[in-house]
Every structure is written in structure tokens, then in C-alpha cells.
């Protein structure tokens, strides 16, 4: 297959059962355990003793029992009483994600991290490097497996939407294409609930309209869809027809601000889990800010629920900062005031009023505290830059109370 240098070529790469895969590899290769969580009924979730929390990831064996990502642990244990449940280790997952992204950057000219375990690659114009994109995708998939120890699915198309839909086809460890000429054959027969951004509530509304497949939606009059679902209906109608106008993000404008978002692997319905993801966002964001020797004066958070409704809040800081802990503290507080309890699909943390100056206007106790955090952050950055992301992990957040609040 020859790639035209004029046609867009987009890869979507998604880690298969990311949290469980990363946990299993870590336990075998770094802790020396014999049991492979990937081959038994197992899941990443809350505390098995108290039966609190939700399922964050599950093995193929657990899936056969009907265990679902995002469901309460108490329900999963009813389906599979012998389910092995392991508590989440978010610092580990952030490190694995960082290693994953760094490997992708070796091979792709533009990498957009879409979530902790997903990325889009813009491979447009790379035909002289990789004359056969499908063969290259297989090589990249195998390289990730051999070097990092986990499997991925890769979807290939002309835009982000179709590439993402392709990567959701048969799993694990697969490469799939979904080019525009393949939509009618590969996309339209799928159930309407499989379409990106169609949650259970929207799917129910569409089924009540007689729309059962993605093809049904694609071939329904747009005005009818708009009348029932408004702007969200127009978006998903476009998606059903393979239309996506969003380009790969190529980074932030210098000295303006920084942002990072995560599309969650499931609908998050509890505050603690959401704050785990907010922490991982802030960790990545703050490292970029420090890397540019910048400081930010405004922090904002955006929440997109599973019905595509967005809520945002922001705060101006009394002093500009580059400190992970402070950015996280403000982002978590904004989340508490903004979230209305609806299931969350996407979380974003944005910063603005970036400057190269750090004006301190806080009391001497806060100044001393944040100076210590700043030195700690700088030390962590230096070690990771020299020895890699796996060389060190954050053991605490703001204080013991905050750390406890982040446990399931």
C-alpha cells in the first residue's frame, strides 16, 4: 500500500487493558512475582476487603464472567467470586504512560497524548520513511510489546475519529484500518452504542427513535437528530458518517499557557478516582512548565460528562507557580466546586498567564513550604531526565491528609 504525501494518515494507539497490563508486568519483572494477573480472573479496583470502589481494568478471563470496567466491585464479585482485585498504583501507571509516549515520539513526527493510555500519531508525509503504513504499524505494535512489555491496538485512517474507531475493533494486539471507503462495510453495521461519544443514555434515546446501528444514524435526516439531541446529535451524526474536523494538537503557544487532558477509559462516577486522574494530569503539566522555566498565574479545570456537557472553573493565583503540588491542590478544589455528579468522560487542566517571573505574594509559611516543593520537583525532574521516568516516583501529595483522600 503506497501512502500519498498529500493525504492525511492518522494512527490511534490504545494500550490493551492498560492498568492491569502495566500492573502485571511490574509485578512479574520488578517484584519477581510468578502469578500473571493477565491470565487469571483479575481486576484493578478498590479494596476487596471492604468491597469499596469500582473496577478500573479487568483481565480477559474476568471479562468472560461479565465483569465490566466502571462497575462497582461488589457487583463484579457477585459475577466472579474468585476475582483477584489489586488496588490501583497510579504513580506506576503515569510512569508506564510516559515511557509509552516517549517511545512513540521516536517514530512519529507528531504525537498527541489523548489519555493516559492512548495517543494519536500524525504520520502524514512519512511515506519515504515508512512506505507501507500497515506494515509499519505492525512493527511498532510489536516493538511496544517487546520493549515495554504490554500490547496495544493500532487503528489507521485519514482522521482521528475513524482511527480511534478502528483501534476499538477486535482486541488485543491488533492493527485495523478504517479508511473512508471502508465505513459502510466496517463501521455502519456496529451497534449504535459503539459509536464514539454515544453513552448509554444517548443510545437509549436513539434506539427509541428506531436507530439501532451506526449506519442507521448515518442515514437518518440530520434535522431529526438535531431536534432530539441538539448540538450533541449533530456531532455524533457527523461521527457516524466518518466526519471529524479536529486536527492533531501540535503543542501550546509559547508563553501563553499550558494544558493537558485525559479522556477517561470509563465513565468516572466518584471523586477519588477523578482526583487520581487530575493528579496525573498535573504531574505531566507541571513538568512541562518547569521544562520551559515558566510559571503560571491562572489554573482552570474542565469536566466533560458522558452526555458531552462541559463545565469549567478557574482561579487566579496570588503568586505564579511551577509547583506540581500547588497546581494539583487548586485543580482538585476547582473540581470539587465544579462537578455536578454526572459521570465524567474527560478531564482537562489548563493554565494561563504564563511568565518567566515568579512573583511571591504569599505569607512566609507558604513561601517556605512551596520553596521546599519547588526544590523537590526540580530534583525529581533532574533524576527523570537523566535516568528515565521509571527511576523515581512521587510518594506523597500535599500532605498525609491529602494522600489519604486519594485512596480507594
State the DSSP code for 54. B
Q: Find out whether 267 and 345 touch, Cβ atoms under 8 Å.
A: yes
What per-residue string of b and e applies to 303-313 under the rule 16 or more CB within 10 Å gives b? Answer: bbbbbbeebeb
Cα–Cα dist 351/260, whole Å: 9
Res. 347: pLDDT tops 60: yes
Number of Cβ atoms within 10 Å of the Cβ of 276: 21
Q: Span 188-240: which CATH code? A: 1.10.150.20
Q: Looking at residue 220, what is its pLDDT?
A: 97
What is the pLDDT at residue 226?
94
What is the mean pLDDT of the segment spanning 105-127? 90
How far, in Å, are 87, 135, 292, 298 from residue 92 at the CA level? Answer: 12, 31, 25, 29
Neighbours of 300 (CB within 10 A): 20
Please tell me the distance from the alpha carbon of residue 67 to that of residue 194, in angstroms, as a whole number: 18
Q: Is the pLDDT of residue 4 over 90?
A: no
251-255, 277-281, 340-344, 349-353: lowest mean pLDDT where?
251-255
Taking alpha carbons only, the member of 337, 345, 206 closest to residue 273 is 345
- CA-nearest of 386, 312, 387, 395 to 346 is 312
- pLDDT grade for 256, boundaries at 50, 70 and 90: low
- The pLDDT assigned to 372 comes to 52
Domain 1-92+113-176 listed as CATH 3.30.70.270: yes
Cell (9 digits) for 140: 511498532
Active site residue 118: yes
Residue 251 clears pLDDT 60, i.e. is over it: no
**By three-state DSSP, how is residue 65 classified?**
coil
Task: Read off the pLDDT of each residue in 22-43 and give the average, rounded to a whole number.
Answer: 94
User: What local confidence, expressed as pLDDT, does residue 397 receive?
Assistant: 36
Predicted confidence at residue 284, as pLDDT, reads 79
DSSP 144-206: HHHHHS--EEEEEESSHHHHHHHHTSS-SS-EEE--GGGIIIIITTSBGGGSTT--HHHHHHH
Q: Each residue of 268-292: pLDDT tens digit?
A: 888 988 998 898 888 878 888 887 7
DSSP 2: P
Band the pLDDT of 330: cuts 50, 70, 90.
very high
* Most distant CA pair in the chain, distance: 66
Question: Which tens digit of pLDDT belongs to each residue from 202-234?
Answer: 999 999 999 999 999 999 999 999 999 988 899
| Dist CA 42 CA 405 (whole Å) | 25
- By the 8 A CB rule, do 84 and 24 touch? no
In this predicted structure, the answer to whether residue 238 has a pLDDT above a threshold of 80 is yes
For the ranges 108-112, 118-122, 364-368, the lowest mean pLDDT is seen at 364-368
Q: Mean pLDDT lowest for which of 56-70, 240-254, 290-304?
A: 240-254
Residue 2 has pLDDT above 80, yes or no: no
Q: Is the peptide bond before 341 cis (omega within 30 degrees of 0)?
A: no
For 131, which DSSP code?
S
Check residues 247 and 313 and name the one with the higher pLDDT.
313
Position 69 pLDDT exceeds 50? yes
Task: Give the model confidence (pLDDT) of 150-176 as tens digits.
Answer: 999 999 999 999 999 999 999 999 999
Taking the domains of the chain in order of start, what are their residue ranges? 1-92+113-176, 188-240, 257-405
pLDDT of residue 288: 80
Give me the residues paired with residue 57 across strands: 44
pLDDT score, position 407:
36
Distance CA 145, CA 149 (A): 5
- Contact indicator for 200, 342 with CB cutoff of 8 Å: no
CATH architecture of 257-405: 2-Layer Sandwich (3.30)
Task: Give the neighbor-by-neighbor strand order of the sheet with 310-321.
Answer: 257-268, 344-352, 296-305, 310-321
pLDDT of residue 404: 37
pLDDT at 263 over 80: no
Distance CA 252, CA 255 (A): 9
Name the region of 125 (left: φ>0; alpha: ψ -120 to 50; beta: rest).
left
Q: Where are the beta strands (DSSP E) in 96-151?
A: 110-115, 118-122
Of 97, 95, 130, 126, nearest in space to 110 by CA: 126
Q: In a 10 Å sphere around its CB, with 0-12 CB exposed, 13-18 middle and 19+ buried, how is residue 267 labelled?
A: middle
pLDDT over 90, % of the chain: 51
365-392 pLDDT per residue, tens: 444 445 555 555 655 555 555 454 444 5
Which of 23, 112, 118, 283 is the catalytic position?
A: 118
Mean pLDDT of the chain: 83
Q: Give the side-chain half-sphere CA count within 13 A for 41.
A: 14
Mean pLDDT in residue range 307-324? 86
Average pLDDT of the residues in 22-27: 94
Amino acid at each position: 500500500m503506497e501512502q500519498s504525501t498529500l493525504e492525511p494518515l492518522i494512527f490511534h494507539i490504545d494500550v490493551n487493558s492498560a492498568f492491569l497490563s502495566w500492573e502485571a508486568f511490574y509485578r512479574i519483572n520488578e517484584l519477581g512475582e510468578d502469578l500473571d494477573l493477565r491470565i487469571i480472573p483479575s481486576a484493578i479496583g478498590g479494596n476487596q476487603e471492604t468491597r469499596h470502589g469500582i473496577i478500573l481494568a479487568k483481565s480477559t478471563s474476568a471479562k468472560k464472567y461479565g465483569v465490566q470496567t466502571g462497575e462497582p466491585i461488589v457487583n463484579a464479585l457477585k459475577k466472579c467470586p474468585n476475582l483477584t482485585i489489586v488496588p490501583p498504583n497510579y504513580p506506576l501507571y503515569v510512569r508506564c504512560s510516559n515511557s509509552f509516549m516517549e517511545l512513540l515520539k521516536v517514530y512519529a513526527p507528531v504525537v498527541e497524548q489523548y489519555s493516559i493510555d492512548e495517543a494519536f500519531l500524525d504520520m502524514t508525509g512519512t511515506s519515504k520513511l515508512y512506505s507501507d503504513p500497515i506494515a509499519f504499524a505492525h512493527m511498532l505494535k510489536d516493538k511496544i510489546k517487546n520493549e515495554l512489555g504490554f500490547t496495544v491496538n493500532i487503528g489507521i485512517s485519514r482522521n482521528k475519529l475513524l482511527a480511534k474507531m478502528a483501534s476499538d475493533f477486535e482486541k488485543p494486539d491488533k492493527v485495523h484500518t478504517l479508511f473512508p471507503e471502508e465505513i459502510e462495510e466496517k463501521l455502519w453495521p456496529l451497534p449504535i452504542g459503539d459509536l464514539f461519544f454515544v453513552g448509554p443514555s444517548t443510545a437509549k434515546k436513539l434506539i427509541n427513535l428506531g436507530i439501532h446501528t451506526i449506519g442507521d444514524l448515518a442515514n437518518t435526516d440530520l434535522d431529526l437528530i438535531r431536534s432530539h439531541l441538539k448540538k450533541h446529535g449533530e456531532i455524533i451524526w457527523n461521527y457516524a458518517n466518518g466526519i471529524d474536523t479536529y486536527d492533531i494538537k501540535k503543542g501550546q503557544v509559547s508563553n501563553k499557557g499550558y494544558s493537558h487532558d485525559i479522556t477517561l477509559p470509563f465513565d468516572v462516577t466518584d471523586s477519588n478516582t477523578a482526583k487520581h486522574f487530575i493528579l496525573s494530569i498535573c504531574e505531566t503539566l507541571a513538568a512541562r512548565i518547569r521544562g520551559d522555566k515558566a510559571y503560571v498565574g491562572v489554573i482552570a479545570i474542565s469536566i466533560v460528562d458522558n452526555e458531552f456537557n462541559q463545565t469549567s472553573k478557574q482561579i487566579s493565583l496570588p503568586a505564579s507557580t511551577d509547583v506540581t503540588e500547588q497546581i494539583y491542590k487548586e485543580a482538585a478544589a476547582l473540581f470539587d466546586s465544579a462537578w455536578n455528579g454526572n459521570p465524567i468522560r474527560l478531564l482537562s487542566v489548563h493554565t494561563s498567564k504564563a511568565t518567566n517571573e515568579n512573583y511571591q505574594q504569599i505569607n512566609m509559611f507558604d513561601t517556605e513550604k512551596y520553596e521546599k516543593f519547588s526544590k523537590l520537583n526540580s530534583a525529581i525532574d533532574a533524576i527523570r531526565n537523566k535516568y528515565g521516568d521509571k527511576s523515581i516516583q512521587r510518594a506523597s501529595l500535599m500532605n498525609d491528609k491529602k494522600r489519604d483522600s486519594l485512596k480507594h
